[in-house]
Amino acid sequence: MTGWQRWSALVLASAVASSPAVTAQAASHVFLVQNSGWMEPFYTDPASPYKALVTEVVQAAMAPGDALVLASFNQGLPGAPSPRALLAQQGKPNRNKLRGVLGPLEVGRKPGGKAMADTDLGEAVGGAIDGALGGKPGLVWLFTNNRNSPNNDQATARRNREFYQLIHEGKAIRKALAFPLKMPVQGAQYSAGGLMVYVFAVHEGGARELDALLASGRLKQVITETPARLKPLDQDTVRLVPARVENTPGVRYAVLPDGRLRAELDADRPAAASTPSARITWRLENAMYPYTITSADISAQAALAGEVKPVALQADTVRNLAPGKPQPLASTLSLPVANVPGKWSLAALSTAGSAQVIPGRIEVRLANQRLELSQTFRQRMAELFPGDPLPDIFTPPAQIQGSRAVLPVEVRLQYGAGPLLAMIGGLFALLAAAGALAVAATRGRKVVVIVDGERRTLRTKAGAKSPLYNAAGDQVAELHTTLFGHQLANVREGASVQLADKAGR
């Protein structure tokens, strides 16, 4: 690990931990600014917006509690290490500080002469992941003209492909985006028409940080170009947007503002107790700019409460689905509700009179998928990087033949108050019966028995056993009293004992 890596790694590892208030939300950023010989016009053209762009991207990408390492890079040589840290700190630096750091930055030179430094993109990205981030989650930003030529290697196509393979095959990089920007500059020796800004999300934590940044809209205030997706090409490749829904008895469908589908079921209707179906027309959108899905087999299924059912699609193939040009897709959606709590369940009774929300999903799968780089993107790359073989390195990896996308579904099951009222009524009846039994069990009773022709009146209660004696004082029987009456037990042989009837006879 070089000196810059040890220093920057220490900063990133300790920065967030030093402030407990932001630990859970802070992100780590490494900004790599190319200053090799191929970048000469970006530094020497008086009108070059290169450094100003870096400043504004840093400002947009970072939240107040994030940690940062800003470094220049070209190709590391003995006596001229690369990357070289320019700034490392916790918290977003202000524009004046960034300008003060970037302002003096010039084109790098090889040791012992005036020759301009070469470029090694893989060395820079690898050093940022393993060194500055120390293998931990974060975002690595790369500002480059895509001329990857270590040791002044003229085989830039091969070098670019090696860099691209690092992105696709590197396990640490979970997401990668590229922003092609128009930036015409003229230097003393070279000229350029464009610049590429990459962002690499390291590990799942970095992918979540990138998703949150894109969702915030901060970056779009600086870079308005649509990002080209490099990785992954097998997840969230298409989007299903409900365009028209035909309701069915007992089920009402609605499209939420975030694009999710909501189904409201009335648990008291027979349709909700079976398998409610609906005709839904979707807009199938390609979410993999700059790729066109030239062909793919498509299938879908709905999952709810642990049950999965297929979604019947009108077409089972996709053809020439270009980014930004949705295709209609009709379907029959059957909600799997067999495992949804019934109206007599505890869940239903606890939410009686209101709705219970059950999360579900619709999963779309593409198989035998063929991707092609869109002609529009190729033309734009040719305009920004004339003569550069860059578009070839956007060729999708051959092993990516399938992909999946998930559309969240919210099912609201409306339970009526009838079952709850019935259960409450039954509970009151049960309590009343129990109360009556309790009164009957404790209420004193009067019974008349006849022993040897002598009438006797006894007071007893349910559960009591009363001995009966003759005139000589000998026990001749027992009187057992229950909730339902009286009976004689253990009557002595030869004794005359009997219960008087209701009339006392």
**Residue-wise pLDDT tens digits, 58-73:** 999 999 999 999 999 9
Among 212-221, 258-267, 486-495, the minimum mean pLDDT is found in: 258-267
pLDDT band at 487 (very low <50, low <70, confident <90, very high): confident
Identify the band that residue 450 occupies on the pLDDT scale cut at 50, 70 and 90. confident
Report the pLDDT value the prediction gives residue 33, as an integer from 0 to 100.
Answer: 97
Would you state the pLDDT for residue 254?
73
Radius of gyration of the chain (CA): 40
Determine the Cα–Cα distance for residues 133 and 131; give it in Å rounded to an integer.
6
202 pLDDT higher than 90:
yes
Distance in angstroms (rounded) separating the CA atoms of residues 89 and 65: 10
Contact 293, 371 (CB under 8 A): yes
Provide the percentage of residues in the chain whose pLDDT is more than 70: 75
Q: What is the pLDDT of residue 15?
A: 42
Average pLDDT, the chain: 79
Which residue did the predictor score with more confidence, 109 or 503? 109
Q: Are 118 and 107 in contact (CB under 8 A)?
A: no
Q: Where are the extended beta strands (E) located within 118-186? A: 138-144, 173-186
Omega of the bond leading into 232 within 30 degrees of 0 (cis): yes
* pLDDT on residue 74: 92
Give the rounded distance of the alpha carbon of 438 from its chain centre.
Answer: 56
Whether residue 153 has pLDDT greater than 80: no
Q: Which of 52-56, 125-129, 438-442 has the lowest mean pLDDT?
A: 438-442
Pairing of strands 307-310, 291-304: antiparallel
Rounded average pLDDT over 99-124: 90
Q: Which pLDDT band holds residue 21 (cuts at 50, 70, 90)?
A: very low
- Work out the number of other CB atoms within 10 angstroms of the CB of residue 293: 24
For the chain, what are the domain ranges? 3-231, 238-421, 443-499
Burial class (CB in 10 A: 0-12, 13-18, 19+), 489: exposed
pLDDT of residue 397: 72
The answer to whether 453 touches 496, Cβ cutoff 8 Å, is yes
- By three-state DSSP, how is residue 489 classified? strand
pLDDT for the residue numbered 363: 87
